[in-house]
A and B are shown apart, each in its own frame.
Chain A
Amino acid sequence: MFLKLKKLFYISFFLGICLSVQAGEWSGYIAGESRYFPESPLSANQYDDFNLSLSAQPEYRHEWDDGYQTFTFVPFVRLDQHDSERRHFDIRELTWLKAAEDWELRVGFRKLFWGVTESQHLVDIINQTDLVDHPDSEEKLGQPMINLALIRDWGTVDFFILPGFRERTFPGSEGRLLSGGIPIDIDQTRYESGAKEKHVDWAVRWEHSLGDWDIGLSHFSGTSREPRFLPGTDGAGRFVLIPFYEQVDQTGFDLQITKEDMLWKLEMISRKDQDGRFTALTGGLEYTFVGVFETDANVGVLAEYLFDDRHDNAATPFEDDFMLGMRLALNDVQSTDLLVGGIFDLDSSASFYFIEASRRLGENWKLSLEAYIYADMPRDDLAYGFRNEDFLQLELAWFF
């Protein structure tokens, strides 16, 4: 793991020097983040109270051939006060793109997104989650790929060959947001496939817009991005959890129907793993009230139902849950936004609340405030290990 990181870092350092004399364009951000955990951790090894962190994500872009060929390089680095696993480096993107009249070829490390819903992203399977960076699963690691897109009148078909698997990142034993405070030992990671992380995955996706309908149909075959955890011990004889990545086949369907201010959303997956086949879905709506109370502000209401037919055996806490949220956009000069909501388990008292607010300061700064609360987690809930992990996060980013 360490060696791989070192290699990534050297590649990036070398590229950085080469590119700084090239004719492209740099942009990106540097951000300072502070987290506060009001409750004590479950393990004595984990830090208490405050944590400071610094991250940077520069982006280099070079365009030629009238913009029909581009080279993009986006490294990411984070420094963290307490958690050594959160001090990490990644190549989010390192891509060459060639676009033609009716096809586009992309080769390299890349991030992409599939899907339409807000509460969880079932269909989105290509990129590994950078969970150590943020527990919301929205941060992703760059995935090596060869991607050919065929653009036709009947839609776009994307073919992917994915050589090389990226392991999910987890907080270290001294970090927070570690379920139950039990360390996850990534040095003992196991795979179903004999090729381990060198297994070559593939995927294909069709997407099309038909009037009000935006439809996507996808299939992925390869190493699951979502590990199972096996109990074990580390070198020092401590109890640890060992990630195990099995081979899966997942077919996904996503649909959004846009009827003026009402958006109807549906994502469904059928996944075949070692235990057989299961189905999961997220479905709901988003309605926007434009110009509320005679102001420029918009208020959006979100409601989604989350289901997994493995029920209590699901590897997710969202097996029969309901998400309710409200989005406020002031549409002011500073782009002030607020999202508040909760996800409620329909079978138990478990609930999860979130607040995400942001506002631009001046021309180049942005302040974000986030709060996550894990409330009334019963002992048998998968999120029980997070019962003391409520946190408040303040981030100030400078964009260049």
Chain B
Amino acid sequence: MKRRLFLALLLVGIMPVDLFAQTPEEKGLAIAMETDSRDAGFGNYIADMTMILMNRYGDKSIREVRMKILEVPGDGDKSMNIFDKPRDVKGTVVLTFSHGLKPDEQWIYLPALKRVKRISSGNKSGPFMGSEFAYEDIGSWEVKKYTYRYLRDDVLNGNDCFVVENTPAYKYSGYSRQTEWVDKTIHQPRQIVFYDRKGALLKTLTFNGYRQYLGQYWRADEMLMVNHQTGKSTRLLWKNYRFRTGLSSRDFTRNSMKRMR
């Protein structure tokens, strides 16, 4: 009984209501948990992603990837990325079982050799397909992957936001910290600023064109990552979001990788 009461108090304590005085860490965590709980229960979805890589001279390179995501209650999501462009990697499939702080499990299917390879998931900070997005930026977001600290309230492009500092709690991150603007209304990120391992400003990610699906889940149509150190940028365009398409864990196996295209 006493324990229940304690739990109830704890829950009240992390609600985003200022009934009790919260430390900045408690408030930061509460904001993250609210984002998580509002996005929970989507089940699964499919989306098409186009990446436009641009160097500082304006030269463009295109990548096209189809993504399938399966929500796993109590653990990280399962995802499957199917590559269509560039053409020389067409048919390559990457399967990821993400876990909070435990290392993710990851396999790659190489269509030329018909080979499924288990790969190391230690490469968090490396670029995803030569883009300005690192693997850790593309992977599934879980509350326990970071520690949080609420900084202030701010208005960004007319949107009321919480500004929260996220510090990666997982190993091998390329970031010392991130500053995130979380929209107070839709509880999704509007902007994230990344600082490298030495603490220097590295990249800014902005989210545009949020749309709501199934009356609950917000997804951005466009994400722009600008690298301040190199002048390169990557624009991500999302299309054809389809939620609850009937995917199950059987569609996220080593075997199913071989039949994806």
Q: How far is the CB of A40 from chain B (nearest CB, A)?
A: 33
Give the docked Cα–Cα distance between A131 and B51 (Å): 39
**B144 contacts A by Cβ under 8 Å:** no
Q: How far is the CB of A207 from chain B (nearest CB, A)?
A: 7
Per-residue CB proximity of B51-89 to A under 8 Å, as 1/0? 001010000011000000000000000000000011111
Complex contact B122–A261 (CB within 8 A): yes
Determine the interface band of chain B, counting residues with CB < 8 A from chain A. 35 or more
Complex contact B88–A298 (CB within 8 A): no
Contact among A112, A258, A290, A333 for B53, CB-based, below 8 A: A333
Complex contact A399–B87 (CB within 8 A): yes
74-108 of chain A: CB within 8 A of chain B: 97, 99, 101-102, 104
**A263 contacts B by Cβ under 8 Å:** yes
Contact among B129, B172, B248, B256 for A290, CB-based, below 8 A: B172
Contact among A61, A207, A290 for B122, CB-based, below 8 A: A290
Complex contact A261–B120 (CB within 8 A): yes
Interface residues in A, total, Cβ within 8 A? 45
**B2 contacts A by Cβ under 8 Å:** no
Per-residue CB proximity of B29-42 to A under 8 Å, as 1/0? 00000000000000
Complex contact B87–A104 (CB within 8 A): no
Contact among B62, B124, B261 for A63, CB-based, below 8 A: B261
Stretch at the interface among B3-11, B111-119, B202-210, B213-221: B111-119
Give the docked Cα–Cα distance between A207 and B115 (Å): 14
Give the docked Cα–Cα distance between A97 and B260 (Å): 11
| Given contacts A333-B61, A399-B90, A97 and B120 within 8 Å (CB-CB) | no
| Given contacts A27-B90, A209-B254, A331 and B118 within 8 Å (CB-CB) | no
Contact among B88, B90, B125, B255 for A149, CB-based, below 8 A: B255
152-182 of chain B: CB within 8 A of chain A: 172, 174
Complex contact B253–A156 (CB within 8 A): yes
Give the docked Cα–Cα distance between A331 and B256 (Å): 27
Most chain A CB inside 10 Å of its own CB: which residue of B62, B113, B114, B253: B114
Q: How far is the CB of B66 from chain A (nearest CB, A)?
A: 11
Give the docked Cα–Cα distance between A151 and B256 (Å): 10
Query: Which residues of chain A are near B119, meaning CB under 8 Å?
Result: 258
Query: Which residues of chain B are near A29, meaning CB under 8 Å?
Result: 87-88
Q: How far is the CB of A313 from chain B (nearest CB, A)?
A: 31
Q: How far is the CB of A260 from chain B (nearest CB, A)?
A: 5
Q: How far is the CB of A364 from chain B (nearest CB, A)?
A: 5
Per-residue CB proximity of A25-42 to B under 8 Å, as 1/0? 001010000000000000
**B130 contacts A by Cβ under 8 Å:** yes
Give the docked Cα–Cα distance between A139 and B209 (Å): 47
| Given contacts A333-B61, A333-B130, A360 and B86 within 8 Å (CB-CB) | yes
Complex contact A104–B174 (CB within 8 A): no
Complex contact B130–A331 (CB within 8 A): yes
Q: How far is the CB of A32 from chain B (nearest CB, A)?
A: 15
Q: How far is the CB of B244 from chain A (nearest CB, A)?
A: 14
| Given contacts A331-B127, A400-B87, A151 and B255 within 8 Å (CB-CB) | yes
Give the docked Cα–Cα distance between A63 and B66 (Å): 16
Per-residue CB proximity of A238-281 to B under 8 Å, as 1/0? 00000000000000000010101111000000000000000000
Q: How far is the CB of A109 from chain B (nearest CB, A)?
A: 13
Q: How far is the CB of A357 from chain B (nearest CB, A)?
A: 14
Query: Which residues of chain B are near A291, meaning CB under 8 Å?
Result: 125-126, 174
Give the docked Cα–Cα distance between A151 and B249 (Å): 11
| Given contacts A256-B118, A333-B61, A61 and B86 within 8 Å (CB-CB) | no
Q: How far is the CB of A61 from chain B (nearest CB, A)?
A: 6
Contact among B90, B118, B250 for A263, CB-based, below 8 A: B118
B121 nearest in chain A by CB position: A260
87-117 of chain B: CB within 8 A of chain A: 87-91, 103, 105, 113-117
A290 nearest in chain B by CB position: B123
Pairs A–B under 8 Å by Cβ, sample size 13: A113-B114, A156-B253, A258-B119, A290-B125, A296-B126, A298-B126, A331-B126, A333-B53, A333-B55, A335-B89, A335-B130, A360-B86, A364-B87
Closest 7 CB pairs of A and B: A399-B87, A333-B130, A261-B122, A113-B115, A113-B114, A260-B122, A399-B88
